[in-house]
Amino acid sequence: MLQRLFGFKGGVKPQTHKAPSVQEPIAQAPLPARLYVPLHQSIGGAPTPRVEAGEDVLKGQLIGGADGWVSAAVHAPTSGRVVAIVDHVAAHPSGLPTLSVVIEPDGRDEWIARTPLDHRSLPPERVRELLRDAGVVGLGGAAFPSHAKLTAARSVPMEDLVINGAECEPYMTCDDMLMRERAEEIVRGIAIFRDLLGARRVLIGIEDNKPEAVAAMQAAVCGLAEDYEVVAVPTRYPAGGAKQLIRVLTGKEVPASKRSTELAVQCFNVATVYTAYRALAHGEPVVSRIVTLTGNVERPRNWEVRLGTPLGDLVALGRPKADTSRYLMGGPMMGFALPSLEAPVVKATNCIIAAAPTTFPASPPEMPCIRCGACAEVCPHELQPFELYWFARARNFGKTQEYYLFDCIECGCCSYVCPSHIPLVQYFRFAKSEIWAREREKNAADAAKARFELRNAREEREKAEKAERLARTAAARPAEKKPAPASAETVAGQPAAVPVDAAPAAPAVDAEAVKKATIVAAMERARAQREAAQPRNTEQLSREQQQEIAAIEARRARVAGDPPGTRTTRPGSAPPPAETGDS
């Protein structure tokens, strides 16, 4: 506890409203009638469905396989039958649909076979894979696949592992309750992350307004005889932002352009650590999470909810008061209003707040910026929100980037203090997504241009080849008109069986010779055509490739019955006219 603390600039102290939801312990939410499990619940690739409609699944069975490295698997939250795999409204500010697996529970809640594993007996690569296939993602709200954060930078030896239990967002208490009730499992889980990263020191940061959680964690650390430091950090929003907590505990500042591992530090949420422990030590993939249900409800508390539970079912457990007008997902500072309660609980759902016009009044109209600088004073990243606002509002996106728009963590401090009630964060989100969209468009345009140019080059080449072929055919044509002797010239360079055969016959039956010459010319044309159709792109082959081709050709020739080397033509091209000329 003799930890020297560093500060971070800015920040605000909103009322916490945390007390109502910590009165009762975490409760198991009942099984809903139907679960809608979205396949894409984490950042990165959208998992591919691994089940079909009509299939019976067990609790914990894989229903969506990770797609690529940065992606995390999705599992059935209970046993039952897959009714359909359809688009269902997502827990997202847009309310747009996303591909979801609809499961009708059979009520037995029967697990698949679970194999407990000890991470120390497995190679680190395997542990990361296991975490990915257990669907372990950042449960603080970002839902970034954890295994992808568990590789230390090659050149920098890992120093600090920061475990984030700060939970600075008002109303939210899910991490607090988790630490109070399941501290031992969290502390055991930290060892997995510490060993994978090779961190020298582990710092557990908890805001000092949660003394019970601090005590519980400390007891667990002592009980397991670990050398982790549990640090109570001053309560100030956003102390729970990964970058702020890293700064407070280690004094390191992570810029937007760098990964924190490059500064020898990495940060994980306590709930993430807990699920990682359950995944390895109990073989239980992530099928549920703890959600705070609070605000304008009769019974605020924390629920352990199966992923995919419709939010309407969850909200009903808290008995919302009559004047509840809307629901927020996430906290009041960084969250968003849910467009529909049909959306399901997902891995990123940490808190649902029932909002009434009295507790969450609609924001007053936006007034002009008076350049008071209050926003700049509270910005934890020392940005200048009023400048960013000015350029975002004018859609001058280049300028917003010059003012480090992408360093903004959308914490909402600036909007919170702005006396003109400007929804600054909304402008920043708008600017960011516009910039991303433009980037996508630019990349698509570049790719289209490259394909267009390749196509043009190919057409040019084909035209040239065709012209060449025509020229060659034209050269062969005269043979048709003239009697046999002429054809000897056109087939010079080939076994002269035809002329030998044709020449003596010429004086006797002229018509016969003309016919034969025509056949020879046609064969010559066909040969030229086939030659033109030989493999392309063979000009810039490497030595190995050429040798490989030579070896294959030799093998083919052997199979065809000729000893290699005697065949001058490639297999598949016209047989030597010497044979056919006679027939």
Interface residues with ligand SF4 (CB under 6 A) are: 369-375, 378-381, 383, 385-386, 389, 408-414, 417-420, 422, 424-425, 428
CA angle, 72 then 134 then 328, to 5°? 60
If one asks whether residue 445 binds another protein (CB under 8 A), the answer comes out as yes
Query: What's the CA gap between 110 and 108, in Å, rounded?
Result: 5
Question: Is 372 marked as binding a ligand?
Answer: yes
Give the footprint of another protein on residues 327-366 (CB under 8 A): 363, 365-366
- Applying CB under 8 A, among 446, 465, 512, 548 the residue interacting with another protein is 446
What does the block give as tokens for 32?
A: 């809903």
> What letter does residue 237 receive in the DSSP assignment?
B
| Tokens read off for 260 | 């924190």
Instruction: Choose one: 74-82, 223-231, 423-431, 502-510; the region binding another protein (CB under 8 A).
Output: 423-431
Q: Is 414 annotated as a binding residue?
A: yes
Kindly provide the residue ranges of all beta strands, DSSP E only, lying in 307-457, ordered along the sequence: 326-329, 336-337, 351-355
What the block records as the tokens of 311 is 């939010």
Residue 434 contacts another protein per CB under 8 A: yes
CA distance 482 to 484: 7
Of the pair 263, 411, the CB lying nearest ligand SF4 is at 411
Tokens 């599992």 correspond to what residue?
75
User: Is there a binding annotation on residue 411?
Assistant: yes
Binding site partner of 371, from another protein, ligand SF4, none, Cβ cut-off 5-8 A by kind: ligand SF4
Smallest separation (angstroms) from ligand SF4 to the CB of 392: 11
Q: How far apart are CA 357 and CA 363, in angstroms?
A: 10
Q: Is 267 annotated as a binding residue?
A: no
426 binds another protein (CB under 8 A): yes
User: How far apart are the C-alpha atoms of 63 and 313, rounded to whole Å?
Assistant: 23
Tell me whether residue 332 or residue 380 sits nearer to ligand SF4 (CB atom): 380
Cβ at position 430, least distance to another protein in Å: 5
Our CB check for ligand SF4 shows the closer of 425 and 502 to be 425
Could you tell me how far CA 442 lies from the centroid of its own chain? 20
| The one among 367, 372, 533, 552 contacting another protein by CB under 8 A | 367
Whether 413 has a binding-site annotation, put simply, is no
CB closer to another protein, 75 vs 432: 432
Among 444, 467, 500, 505, binds another protein (CB under 8 A): 444
For the stretch 56-81, what's the b/e string if a residue is b when 16 or more beta carbons lie within 10 angstroms of its beta carbon? ebbbbbbbbebbeebbbbbbbbbbbe
168 annotated binding-site participant: no
451 contact, one of ligand SF4, another protein, none, CB 5-8 Å limit per kind? another protein
In contact, 278 and 68? CB cutoff 8 Å: no
**Six-digit token string for 293:** 């249900």
Which region, left, alpha or beta, applies to residue 430 given φ > 0 means left and ψ of -120 to 50 means alpha?
A: alpha
Site of interaction with another protein (CB under 8 A): 40, 90, 92-94, 96, 98, 363, 365-368, 422-423, 426-427, 429-430, 432-434, 436-437, 440-441, 444-449, 451-452, 454-455
